[in-house]
């Protein structure tokens, strides 16, 4: 997203007051997996099933929802397909300005007799507005080096019973969005990877966002984050140890987030953002929370207007849930390193 207000032009490299992490992350031992030998034709084995039963979950703990902060972000979306008038008083006031059609959100201060006060002395007809609920998804603290890949299911649906197979629409084969799971085996079928997530349950690669380790770039500090623009996953590192991971939403194809190594040069707890004035994709967003600017006007920031994490969704910024963004804002801070990369071609 583009920051509407004037931004400081000099890049700041100040040291933030970091929250210490006291637990140690142990390196995972070399894993000899019975599931690694599965193939397109031999896609199951009793030994693999036993291994999955003995190690059903990654060594992670979910970040607690920041209810106090999330509750403070009550917003309404402008749903009209035409410019909406902002008046100086409910019903009969003078017109102050209009909000163009687009992706626009306002802060409701009060509601009375069909009119919403969006700022002191500014009113919009309630019929043109709809409440939005911020996402309650959160990332996870990584308690130990995972012995195998893991990630999140991105779609509600049904798993297949074999790589490349059709979904099996029975209750036991249901998969649910935002479920965290190991990937025990990967088999390619017709050019697509399929992931084994439980005995007899295979999920196609586009239905998952995987946490992947990446080597620490030369010159980064003790705390840094890597954003995999293919998987749409952010991983926070303390040195070489993974300490936190979550799903994000980066730039859409016409506004792709740039690859490269950056540093957080300024931060804002609340930022007003807008862009593409006069165009069909015009947007106006109030009080965007916990923005960490790393590439000019591009930032990591909290997002109250969608729940599409794991998929590209933005005009270049990296969207996180409000809870995740608050944690990252406190943990990374000014001068923190941000590494943007693709783990495979998109």
pLDDT over threshold 60, residue 21:
no
| Contact criterion met (CB below 8 Å) for 202 and 165 | yes
Grade residue 8 by pLDDT with cuts at 50, 70 and 90. very low
Dihedral angle computed from the Cα positions of residues 313, 315, 318 and 323, in that order, rounded to the nearest 10 degrees = -70
Dihedral angle computed from the Cα positions of residues 120, 124, 127 and 128, in that order, rounded to the nearest 10 degrees = -110
- Asked whether the CA dihedral 287, 81, 280, 257 is positive or negative, the reply is positive
C-alpha 99: how far from chain center = 28
C-alpha 79: how far from chain center = 24
Q: Is 161 left (phi over 0), alpha (psi -120 to 50) or beta?
A: alpha
The residue with greater pLDDT, 55 or 99, is 55
**Whole-model pTM over 0.85:** no
What does the pLDDT read at residue 109? 83
| Contact criterion met (CB below 8 Å) for 123 and 98 | no
DSSP-derived 3-state class of residue 51: helix
What digits encode the pLDDT tens for the residues 257-294? 999 999 999 998 876 554 444 434 444 556 788 999 99
Dihedral angle computed from the Cα positions of residues 90, 95, 96 and 98, in that order, rounded to the nearest 10 degrees = 100
Which tokens is 197 given? Answer: 């997530």
CATH of 1-30+57-73+135-147+206-346, one of 3.90.1570.10, 1.10.357.10, 1.10.3720.10, 2.40.440.10: 2.40.440.10
What digits encode the pLDDT tens for the residues 49-59? 999 999 999 99
Q: 332 Cβ partners below 8 Å, 6+ apart?
A: 16, 223, 224, 225, 236, 264, 292, 338
What does the pLDDT read at residue 286? 62
Query: Which of 24-38, 136-150, 220-234, 277-291 shows the lowest per-residue confidence on average (mean pLDDT)?
Result: 277-291
Average pLDDT score over residue span 227-255: 94
Which tokens is 258 given? Answer: 């740039």
The residue with greater pLDDT, 170 or 307, is 170
Rounded CA gap, 213 and 61, in Å?
18
């Amino acid at each position: 997203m583009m920051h509407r207000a004037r931004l400081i032009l000099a890049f700041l490299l100040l040291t933030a007051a970091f929250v210490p992490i006291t637990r140690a992350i142990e390196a995972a031992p070399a894993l000899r997996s019975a599931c690694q030998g599965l193939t397109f034709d031999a896609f199951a084995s009793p030994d693999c099933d036993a291994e999955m039963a003995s190690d059903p979950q990654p060594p992670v703990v979910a970040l607690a929802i920041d209810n106090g902060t999330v509750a403070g972000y009550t917003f309404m979306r402008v749903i009209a397909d035409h410019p909406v008038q902002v008046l100086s008083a409910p019903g009969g006031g003078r017109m102050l300005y209009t909000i163009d059609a687009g992706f626009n959100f306002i802060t409701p201060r009060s509601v009375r007799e069909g009119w919403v006060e969006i700022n002191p002395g500014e009113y919009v007809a309630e019929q043109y507005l709809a409440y939005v609920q911020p996402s309650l998804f959160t990332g996870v603290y990584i308690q130990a080096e995972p012995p195998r890949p893991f990630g999140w299911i991105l779609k509600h649906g049904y798993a297949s019973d074999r790589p490349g197979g059709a979904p099996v629409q029975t209750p036991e084969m249901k998969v649910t969005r935002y479920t965290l799971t190991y990937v025990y085996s990967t088999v390619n079928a017709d050019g697509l990877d399929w992931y084994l997530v439980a005995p007899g349950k295979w999920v196609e690669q586009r239905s998952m966002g995987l946490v992947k380790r990446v080597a620490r770039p030369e010159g980064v500090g003790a705390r840094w984050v890597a954003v995999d623009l293919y998987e749409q996953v952010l991983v926070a590192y303390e040195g070489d140890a993974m300490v936190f991971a979550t799903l994000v939403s980066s730039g859409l194809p016409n506004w792709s987030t740039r690859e490269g190594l950056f540093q957080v040069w300024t931060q804002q707890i609340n930022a007003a953002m807008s862009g593409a004035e006069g165009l069909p994709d015009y947007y106006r967003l109030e009080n965007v929370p916990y923005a960490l600017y790393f590439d000019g006007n591009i930032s990591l920031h909290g997002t109250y207007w969608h729940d599409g994490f794991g998929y590209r969704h933005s005009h270049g910024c990296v969207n996180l849930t409000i809870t995740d963004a608050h944690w990252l804002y406190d943990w990374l801070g000014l001068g923190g390193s941000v590494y943007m990369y693709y783990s495979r071609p998109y």
